[in-house]
A and B are shown apart, each in its own frame.
Chain A
Amino acid sequence: AQTVTQSQPEMSVQEAETVTLSCTYDTSENNYYLFWYKQPPSRQMILVIRQEAYKQQNATENRFSVNFQKAAKSFSLKISDSQLGDTAMYFCAFRETGNQFYFGTGTSLTVIP
């Protein structure tokens, strides 16, 4: 069974600093996709970044980047220059070729002014 683990229920970071959220997953698949979603207080789910497992290069989207370690089954999210609007719940998600999505339990991030 595929599982996604986010071991940090809550984190905080000073505004303009860098923070890293961790995620590990378990799969026997070789091809799959990994995602980070952000859920602000409005409860809307917003895609932050995605990574295809067959790509060795780490994905980057502006201030958001990932550290994808396929052998270790690790997929961490780094947020640089943290902003107050980054305060949200962050979910790591995994999708294998069978189309099911698996979400972690989330990390609540608070950016402190």
Chain B
Amino acid sequence: DSGVTQTPKHLITATGQRVTLRCSPRSGDLSVYWYQQSLDQGLQFLIQYYNGEERAKGNILERFSAQQFPDLHSELNLSSLELGDSALYFCASSKETGWTYEQYFGPGTRLTVT
């Protein structure tokens, strides 16, 4: 158990809909990362937040957005869903202090778009 929690575990929804994925980082971690893992594209970095502010952006679509709240939990919002958005979405956290740069991953949310 990494200490990172993600809800829900599974999500099934229809095309065109909007969903919100939630992540709680490990205690003491200020930084949250979101990743998408699909069968054909491997693990893709989407976005990072540090202490409430966006720090780095990867291959995140405009239909997707994220935020980190004052209590440091984060939400990833996916809208106008398409079949190709079906994937495993991981959240990870890290301390972002000193030289401790490893990320600890949550169990993931499996999104199925039908």
How many residues of B are in contact with the other chain, CB < 8 A?
23
Given contacts A35-B102, A43-B107, A44-B105, contact A102 B45 (CB under 8 A): yes
A31 to chain B, nearest CB (A): 10
Q: Is the CB of A47 within 8 A of B104?
A: yes
Interface bits B28-44 vs A (CB < 8 Å: 1, else 0): 00010100000000111
A45 beta carbon closer than 8 Å to chain B: yes
B7 beta carbon closer than 8 Å to chain A: no
B45 to chain A, nearest CB (A): 5
Q: Is the CB of A101 within 8 A of B55?
A: no
Query: Can you pick out 8 interface pairs between chain A and chain B where the beta carbons lie within 8 Å of each other?
Result: A33-B101, A44-B2, A44-B107, A45-B105, A47-B104, A100-B58, A102-B45, A103-B43
Q: Is the CB of B56 within 8 A of A100?
A: yes
B92 beta carbon closer than 8 Å to chain A: yes
Distance, CA A50 to CA B44, complexed state (A) = 19
Task: Say which one of A11-19, A20-28, A91-99 lies at the interface with B.
Answer: A91-99
Given contacts A105-B42, A106-B42, contact A50 B58 (CB under 8 A): no
B3 to chain A, nearest CB (A): 12
Interface bits A71-113 vs B (CB < 8 Å: 1, else 0): 0000000000000000000010001001111111110000000
Within 8 A of A (CB), among B53-73: 55-56, 58
Distance, CA A101 to CA B103, complexed state (A) = 10
Q: Which residues of B contact A105 (CB under 8 A)?
A: 42
B48 beta carbon closer than 8 Å to chain A: yes
Instruction: List the 7 closest pairs (A to B, CB-CB), nearest first.
Output: A45-B105, A103-B43, A99-B56, A105-B42, A100-B56, A33-B101, A47-B102
Q: Is the CB of A99 within 8 A of B48?
A: yes
B91 to chain A, nearest CB (A): 10
Q: Which residues of B contact A101 (CB under 8 A)?
A: 33, 45, 103
Distance, CA A35 to CA B43, complexed state (A) = 14
Q: Considering residues B55, B88, B102, B107, which has the most beta carbons from chain A within 10 angstroms of its beta carbon?
A: B102
Q: Is the CB of A99 within 8 A of B99?
A: no
